[in-house]
Amino acid sequence: MVIIVRSDLNMGKGKIASQAAHAAVSLYASAAKSSSPHLKAWLFCGQPKVVLKVDSHAALTDLYDNAIAHKLNACAIYDAGRTQLHQGTLTAVGIGPDRVEDVDELTKSLKLL
């Protein structure tokens, strides 16, 4: 599972953690609902998660669109607007659990957060 967070929003550490957690929970729920064949392996391997960063809304949108086009489990996280950001701000995208090679194909050029 990979979670990509926007670094251009200057979110606090707690806000970033919250947005990443939203993405992880959303991905898990989606994978469970669709009976993803990758979910069991991901659970068995310790539920690995990697958090990466992009520096713009456009970059995050492109990643999400590519993940969907590649038929990967993906989610887009939009902020509720209760604290640091305006309601509806795209903060993060999650991808997985899926085949590592498929996720890496889309995210290998990104840096760790």
- SS3 for the chain is CEEEEECCCCCCHHHHHHHHHHHHHHHHHHHHHCCCCCHHHHHHCCCCCEEEEECCHHHHHHHHHHHHHCCCCEEEEECCCCCCCCCCCEEEEEECCCCHHHHHHHHCCCEEC
Domain architecture of the chain: domains with CATH = 2-112 (3.40.1490.10)
Q: pLDDT tens for residues 44-101? A: 999 999 999 999 999 999 999 999 999 999 999 999 989 999 999 999 999 999 999 9
Q: Which residues face 3 on adjacent strands?
A: 51, 94
The predicted model scores a pTM of 0.95
